[in-house]
Amino acid sequence: MKVYGKTMMQHDISNGMLKTIYYIVELYTMASDSLVLIDEFENGLGVNCIDLLSDLLLTEREDLQFIITSHHPKIINSIGKEKWRIIDRDGSRVVNSDCTKYGIGNSQHDAYYNLINRWEFEGKI
């Protein structure tokens, strides 16, 4: 690949940019009806990529199902609360709930802060 007249090799690209390119390629080449699991989606991504990738995942492939974990406000705020599933574990018991169980606020900003400040999750996030 040529960038500003110079050949750019893979080892010249940051890990965050490589991860971004990987996600984009996978998004457009993945088989229909695939289930995509991404743990800690934001890890290694630069802040300039998070919005773009979030938008692509939400809009480009309606034939894919995504299960994504994140604690980053930009990721959480870009996904409507109606799609949230909050997973909690108490010993070997795992429970999933929607955000209404926890009284998550009406604005996305409130929702994120309400979520991370719940006493049930103290020390877990």
Question: CATH code at 64?
Answer: 3.40.50
Find, among 51, 30, 29, the residue nearest to 41 by Cα.
Answer: 51
Q: Write the pLDDT tens digit of every residue in 7-42.
A: 878 888 888 888 888 899 999 999 999 999 999 888
Q: What confidence score (pLDDT) does residue 36 get? A: 92
| Structural domain range at position 93 | 2-121
Q: What confidence score (pLDDT) does residue 80 get? A: 80
pTM score over 0.85: no
Q: What confidence score (pLDDT) does residue 99 get? A: 80
Q: What confidence score (pLDDT) does residue 93 get? A: 93
- The answer to whether the Cα torsion of 4, 6, 12, 18 is positive or negative is positive
Q: What confidence score (pLDDT) does residue 37 get? A: 92
Number of folded domains in the chain? 1
CA–CA separation, 88 vs 3, rounded Å?
Answer: 46
In the block, residue with structure tokens 């802040």: 47
Q: What confidence score (pLDDT) does residue 105 get? A: 58
Residue stretches of the chain with pLDDT short of 50: none
Find, among 67, 71, 56, the residue nearest to 23 by Cα.
Answer: 56
